[in-house]
Structure 1
């Protein structure tokens, strides 16, 4: 079956149901009231016709027409009366529908505007059409005399009006709020319902049925009092105020039924106060219209009052939420916490199924940064929207106005968006864009998933105000990040400048220390040499005679002292020069074993003088080294001199050479007093030898020269020592290969 066929079948079923309901209600009314073709005090089909039109629309008019036609046929009236009744009933219902739509009528009857529209526009104005068409047609065809014209017209008009005010609200409540009737109530509420219903039923039966017999009038019954029919009225008011629309509808319906029953039985206050049944029917119709209209107006007033109070509470909650969000923004810069708390409170305040904040990242990627969702629906945080979704909803970001959709199924959306809202079960949406300086930042979105929703202006305004606060939070966070970045850069610059300043200060301190050591060493060394020479010269001067004989030993001591001074001065000059230019050495293959043997032989006088021994542990298969013999001789001379100078007589020295990692490693060991760890670390640094040992004097250039010579050969030099356990100085030299004759 095609879609058109299914729709046609559905429409035919609706027409048949409406026609059947109209005919059944009319037949029931006429049989119950036993009026035949006479006008009824409460015409049920009028209420059914208006309800059907409100639910199904104008297209259902044919069902009303057919239902009224069949009803009139069963009564055996002529075709003129049949057509006039069917046309009048149909036109009356359609005009009532048009008037209600014009007044923006809501079937929930929760506003005074809805109730007044139902009473005056649908109940009074539209009913005029049916009464006028029906009575005028009957008068034209001769079925109604002019004497009874006005009476017939009033009965028809008031009957239709009563039927609309009694039946239409009852049916609308059954359709739109049937759960409200069966909703579980508290025990106190149920007791109140029982008391109210019992009082209303008892008073209505007492007024309209039991004490309404004519025989009781002479006996002084309750119906002697005029207007006693309004005795149940306070109970109806109670029901309307306490139970709103359902209380008003059921209470007035119960009173109307009992009043009709009593009047049709020829008893009750309306019969007693009038001369005939027609006048009693008029009073009954006025009573039904008054009590139903009053009850509905009271219930709508109470509902509007409650709605106003609720809106006031919502406004207060909205102001509180705005104040709290503003306070959180001022007190915290944690955007994630601010966003998450805000969406949770928004969802609770506006009773939405999902509220979230989406951020627009680079390259058009949408990221949900915070969400509050009803547990019955999927979360956006658990999935990632497709990248091409931004292309389809880009207008939401670029548009500065909110996007409001009460029913998304009525909109023509791209396929990607349709799949998106279908998966996340979105029925209605309210989207507020977030912009900063014309640049889109994201969206603040509220979803309704349980059904369509008509978003209120206050809700739209709330989200707009909160969107402004979100923009302020984002802007504040961006400014804070910029400040942090500037602070970080500033701290980095300060740290760099501080480090540079500390380095300069350390250099200056080292220069001062080096200057102090230099002056101390120079003054000591030069003073020692000069004082020794002066002592010799003074001894010579104190000898008698003009001609003095100078022994060879004294001459040698004078020469050694002068050489010492010259060596010191040359060392200072050479080291200053070497700071400006690299040391140049002349290397050639050299047998280290032969070199050490010759060295031991040359140093025998000094060894004997210091009561020391010097031995060599060098194998015959040691490969030749590639070195400058003169520079290497200076290295050994300085190392041996230091060993004799800083150790007591009688030390034993050993020279050992081995091959290690392609280099020849030489070690000079002694069994002297050793050195501290700090002395070992500073031994080969320029001018710093005496900085850590004030008992030792000298500039310390010799050790520094040794390091320069070894490094010029491509090797390294170091020292290992433990106080009291001797000292070991080691250095490495390259193995002889095909090398150039000079190395820089």
Structure 2
């Protein structure tokens, strides 16, 4: 019996690792659809596998890290032979989300992102700081092996770091919210959700494809989604903005038409970062405010019930007991 239980747990652990590897590889293939070649290095402005890896670690724990390494190996293998520099890149891409997970666990991160501190922790401890590891390892190894000239180091490093960080800020919240999303029951909410979707698509296309400098048009949509639907609405809108903006920057159309590759990447990541911060922080702030209000309303309701019980107890008539009748004094009338 003990051997059967141990074998079952081993098979379950292996299946989880393989599932994480498959998800990482699928995300990598999708991310490579928007790749940029910088002095011989292939980088992406948005690298979904990093966000997928961190979400899997938050769901399943640290034991699935071999799946991240295996998925990274498969992605690099699909680009060419897995040389020693590729193994170093795999190590960096594995270590970065693992460090992000450990930092988030250290500060008591909650996957629901219902507190402002959770959103801030995901931005800095989950995205910006740990992704320095993968960007430095990747760009440094390419430079050390002569695969990239010195002139392209900082552009490659910046794009690599920003792509990994945006993978966390865009993909991880979306996966976390999808795992606990619930369909709205109110017809009005359905109508507003449809109106948001119908508005977000053309506005984002116009902002990212128009020759005019109207990228700021995406922010009213993100604010609307965050205020009314919190992370369940702002996360998909953020993904839409990031994907369409990346495509416009790579194709050098719209507001990115007259910019060099470096200028386009800087403007793109500035837009993506600002949009992600707006979506995450505002959604978490609204969610936290609503949660506090619900707690206050519940406390007021409980207090009102206590007051009603006390008032009823005071106003209830007190009849003398039949077993203990009141004593009567006998007065001498003589």
Do the two structures share a fold, i.e. TM-score over 0.5? yes
Q: Which structure 1 segments of 5+ residues have no match? A: 213-222, 334-479, 499-744
Post-superposition offset of 1:137: 2.5
Say whether residues 1:164 and 2:168 are aligned partners: yes
- Aligned residue-pair number: 327
1:270 corresponding residue in structure 2: 256
Deviation at residue 295 of structure 1 after TM alignment: 1.2
Counterparts of 2:47 and 2:81, CA distance in 1: 18
User: Quick one: distance in 1 between partners of 2:256 and 2:232?
Assistant: 27
| Cα deviation 1:672-712 (Å, max 9, x = unaligned) | xxxxxxxxxxxxxxxxxxxxxxxxxxxxxxxxxxxxxxxxx
- The answer to whether residue 184 in structure 2 is matched with residue 183 in structure 1 is yes
User: Could you tell me how far apart the structure 2 residues matched to 1:322 and 1:150 are?
Assistant: 65
The answer as to whether partners of 1:65 and 1:90 remain within 8 angstroms in 2 is: yes
- Please list, as runs of the form range in 1=range in 2, the aligned pairs for 1:553-568 lying within 5 A after superposition: none
SS at match of 2:42: coil
Q: Is contact 2:28-2:49 (8 Å) kept?
A: yes
1:141 CA displacement: 2.8
* 3-state DSSP of counterpart to 2:28: helix
Q: 1:77: how far off?
A: 4.9
CA distance in 2, matches of 1:332, 1:85: 78
1:46 pairs, out of 50, 55, 78, with 50
Listed one character per residue, the Cα deviations across residues 645-688 of structure 1 (whole Å, up to 9, x for unaligned) are xxxxxxxxxxxxxxxxxxxxxxxxxxxxxxxxxxxxxxxxxxxx
Residue in structure 1 matching 2:127, options 105, 112, 123 = 123
1:249 paired to 2:249: no
How far did residue 279 of structure 1 move?
2.3
C-alpha contact (below 8 Å) 1:18/1:52 kept by paired residues? yes
**Contact 2:89/2:138 (<8 A) preserved:** yes
Q: 1:325 aligns to what?
A: 309
Matched, 1:305 2:309: no
Q: In the alignment, is residue 295 of structure 1 matched against residue 279 of structure 2?
A: yes
SS of 2:114 mapped into structure 1: coil
Of 61, 66, 70, the match for 2:65: 61
Higher helix fraction: Structure 1 or Structure 2? 2
* Structure 1 residue ranges, 4+ long, deviating more than 3 angstroms after superposition: 31-37
State the SS of the aligned residue for 1:290: helix
Out of 150, 153, 158, the residue aligned to residue 154 of structure 1 is 158
Question: What is the aligned partner in structure 1 of residue 198 from structure 2?
Answer: 198
Larger RCO, structures 1/2 (Cα 8 Å, 6+ apart):
2
SS of the residue aligned with 2:130?
A: helix
Deviations 1:308-356, CA, capped at 9 Å, x for gaps:
22222122212212222222333349xxxxxxxxxxxxxxxxxxxxxxx
Greater strand proportion: 1
Residue 31 of structure 1 deviates from its aligned partner by 3.4
2:18 to 16, 25, 32: 16
Deviations 1:369-423, CA, capped at 9 Å, x for gaps: xxxxxxxxxxxxxxxxxxxxxxxxxxxxxxxxxxxxxxxxxxxxxxxxxxxxxxx
Distance 1:183 1:162 in 2: 29
1:457-496 paired onto structure 2 within 5 Å: 484=321, 488=324
In structure 2, C-alpha distance between the alignment counterparts of 1:159 and 1:98, rounded to whole Å: 21
**Cα separation, 1, equivalents of 2:312 and 2:11:** 60
- Alpha-carbon distance between aligned partners in 2 of 1:24 and 1:140, rounded to the nearest angstrom: 29
Following superposition, the deviation at residue 40 of structure 1 comes to 0.3
SS at match of 1:109: coil
| TM-superposition CA deviations, 1:413-452 (whole Å, max 9, x none) | xxxxxxxxxxxxxxxxxxxxxxxxxxxxxxxxxxxxxxxx
How many Å separate the matches in 1 of 2:95 and 2:31? 21
Determine the C-alpha separation between the residues in 2 that align with 1:198 and 1:207: 15
Helix, strand or coil for the counterpart of 1:2? helix
Q: Where do 5+ consecutive residues of structure 2 fail to align? A: none
Alpha-carbon separation, structure 2, partners of 1:62 and 1:78:
17
Q: Distance in 1 between matches of 2:42 and 2:113?
A: 32
Quote the offset at 1:83 in angstroms: 1.4
The structure having more radius of gyration, on CA atoms, is 1
Q: Distance in 1 between matches of 2:138 and 2:35?
A: 20
The change in CA–CA distance for 1:53 and 1:118 in structure 2 (over 3 A counts) is same
Matched, 1:100 2:104: yes
User: How far off its partner does 1:183 sit?
Assistant: 3.0
Pairing of 1:333-482 with structure 2 (within 5 A)? none
Residues 324 and 2 of structure 1: is their aligned pair in 2 closer, same or farther, counting only changes over 3 Å?
same
Instruction: Give yes or no for contact 2:100–2:126 (8 Å, CA) kept in 1.
Output: yes
Aligned equivalents of 1:190 and 1:71: distance in 2? 39
Residues 158, 286 of structure 1: 8 Å contact kept: no
Q: Give the C-alpha shift of residue 37 in structure 1.
A: 5.2
On the 8 A contact 1:50/1:168 being kept in 2, the answer is yes
Q: Distance in 2 between matches of 1:77 and 1:119?
A: 34
Q: Give the Cα separation in 1 of the matches to 2:172 and 2:11.
A: 26
**Would you say 1:6 and 2:8 are equivalent positions?**
yes
Query: Post-superposition shift, 1:78?
Result: 5.0
Displacement after TM superposition at 1:32 (Å): 4.5
Asked whether the 8 Å contact 2:41–2:156 carries over to 1, the reply is no
Correspondence for 1:464: none
1:176 counterpart SS class: coil
Q: Is the 8 A contact 1:88 1:134 kept in 2?
A: yes
3-state SS of 1:118 partner: helix
Contact 1:111 1:304 in 2 (8 A): yes
Contact 2:184 2:190 in 1 (8 A): no
**TM-score of the superposition, structure 1-length normalised?**
0.42
- Tell me the alpha carbon deviations over residues 16-69 of structure 1, each in whole angstroms, 9 at most, x when there is no partner: 111111112112221354759511000011101101100000000000011101
The answer to whether the Cα contact below 8 Å between 1:80 and 1:138 also exists between their aligned partners in 2 is: no
Query: CA shift at 1:484, angstroms?
Result: 4.9
Q: Once superposed, what is the RMSD of the aligned Cα atoms? A: 2.5
